[in-house]
Amino acid sequence: MYTCEFRPGQTIFAQGDPGDRIYLIAEGTVTISLRDPAGRTGVRAILGPTDIFGELAVFDPAPRACTATALTEVRALWLDRATLRASMARDPALAEQLLRALTRRVRAAERQLVELVSSDVNARVARQLLALGRRFGTREGGALRVAHELSQDELAQLVGADRVSVNKALGSFTTRGWISLRGKTVVIINPDALARRAGDVGGADGTRYALPHDDRLGA
């Protein structure tokens, strides 16, 4: 695999570009965004270390369906389509791993659609904060610090709502003592309350929302 680096805000590939590489994030975070027919662009996912993106290029030679942008300093590994397909032919397990990654991406997209039509804005904001916490959070005493580096507009796009509504939800959560805001950092103080507001009350046995024990959550 080959190494590449990107600066914050740098486009890794754009929607409509030829798809000829697959990427694996070694360090940093990347946003995945889509441009609709009206020309509006919205962030649909945020990816971090160990995440794969651009994998559709391996199976479909069509132009890129989304735009990938470095949110922070990013170091990634990449392979071109021809090399990867040759590797897959030698190692069927590699092909299976890529198909699993594609399946997870499709399921995540389906889940976003369901949430968009079945949940109110506050529930979606709560659910997104918890998801960011699981993936990118670090412990800070008894709380969880999430330095997401997203602008207010980008966070709203990720939630699937307008900026004003998302800011109202964040303000409500802050007033209730569930979170605190520090610029582009959210400190989750009461994840159980957020989970209840999100409609995610834990396991089938009613157990409380639990955070992983690792210092780097989701790593």
Instruction: Quote the Cα angle for 50-20-71, to 5°.
Output: 45
Rounded to whole angstroms, the Cα distance separating 219 from 27 reads 11
User: What is the pTM assigned to this prediction?
Assistant: 0.79
Residues 92 and 189 grouped into a single domain:
no
Residue 50 near residue 17 (C-beta atoms within 8 A): no
**Is 64 inside any structural domain?**
yes
**Tens-digit pLDDT profile for residues 10-64:** 999 999 999 889 999 999 999 999 998 888 889 999 999 999 999 887 778 889 9
**Is 153 inside any structural domain?**
yes
Range of the domain at 148: 120-198
Last residue of a domain, one of 86, 117, 148: 117
Instruction: Quote the Cα angle for 127-45-122, to 5°.
Output: 25
Amino acid identity of 32? I
Q: What per-residue confidence (pLDDT) applies to 28?
A: 97
DSSP 48-61: -TT-EE-THHHH--
**Is 174 inside any structural domain?**
yes
Residues 42 and 128 grouped into a single domain:
no
Residues 131 and 78 grouped into a single domain:
no
**Tens-digit pLDDT profile for residues 190-208:** 999 999 999 864 443 333 4
Residues 22 and 37 grouped into a single domain:
yes
**Is 124 inside any structural domain?**
yes
Q: CATH number of the domain at 51, please.
A: 2.60.120.10
The total number of structural domains that make up the chain: 2
**Is 170 inside any structural domain?**
yes
**Tens-digit pLDDT profile for residues 56-110:** 877 788 899 999 999 999 999 999 988 888 888 888 888 888 888 878 877 877 7
Q: What per-residue confidence (pLDDT) applies to 205?
A: 37
**Is 48 inside any structural domain?**
yes
Residue by residue, what is the 3-state secondary structure of 107-149? HHHHHHHHHHHHCCHHHHHHHHHHHHHHHHCEEECCEEEEECC
Residues 155 and 103 grouped into a single domain:
no
Residues 38 and 104 grouped into a single domain:
yes
**Is 205 inside any structural domain?**
no
